Amino acid sequence: MAVIQKSGVIIECVRGDIAHQPDVDVVVNAANAWLRPGAGVAGAIHRAAGPELARECEGLAPIAVGEAVMSGGHRLPNRKVIHCLGPVYGADEPAAELLASCYRKALQLADRCGLASIAFPAISTGVFGYPLRDAVAVALTTVLAEVPQLSAVRRIRFVLFSAGDLAVFEQQLAECEGQA
């Protein structure tokens, strides 16, 4: 596990499943606009949360690209889920700004709700096709710019699904250490 600290906030990355992060208050879903169960992260979160999550989401959808909305965690071990719609790479522009908006809005929402810890997957880097290295750079730049404004959030975790993705993330996180 790689970890850095900025403004009293721990930023870490681990290999794992976003639906199995019992020690964080809120997990982020890489959602579709209708907040329905899908493949990848959305599939894993909805499977673990149970059908009550999909029912609650019906009242929150649709959401726009770059937006973040919050639901309960239902059968997940987390209090809340924040659903973000990342950009489809090559279709939703400006892609970097829309991806940054997901991370920023999710952090602001968690902070406003007094949640102390949040776990993100690598939004848009699966079905939506965003190149991982570029997506990681956007995620880290956005999170590092946001942490000085956070008062409740004290731990930000990135959960990467494969060892290769984790290695990319760890390298870029280590490069941020000097700036933190």
Q: Which residues bind ligand AR6 (CB under 6 A)?
A: 17-19, 30, 32, 38-42, 44, 86, 121-128, 159, 161, 165
Shorter beta-carbon distance to ligand AR6: residue 6 or 139: 139
Closer to ligand AR6 by CB, 9 or 35: give it.
Answer: 35
Instruction: Name the token pair of 104.
Output: 């920023």
C-beta closer to ligand AR6: residue 112 or 133: 133
CB of 135 to ligand AR6, least distance (A): 8
Minimum CB distance to ligand AR6, residue 42 (Å): 4
Nearer to ligand AR6, 44 or 81 (CB): 44
Smallest distance, Å, CB 38 to ligand AR6? 2
Smallest distance, Å, CB 153 to ligand AR6? Answer: 20
Sequence-ordered list of residues with C-beta below 8 angstroms from that of 28, at least 6 positions apart, any chain: 18, 68, 81, 82, 83, 84, 106, 118, 119, 120, 121, 123
Decide if 45 contacts 32 (C-beta within 8 A): no
CB of 109 to ligand AR6, least distance (A): 18
**Closest to 120 in 3D by CA, of 169, 163, 167:** 169
Of 85 and 153, nearer to ligand AR6 (C-beta) is 85
Residue 157: name the closest of 140, 171, 172 by CA: 140
Question: Cβ(132)–Cβ(96) under 8 Å?
Answer: no
Q: Which two tokens stand for residue 141?
A: 């730049």
> How many Å apart are CA 160 and CA 155, to the nearest integer?
16
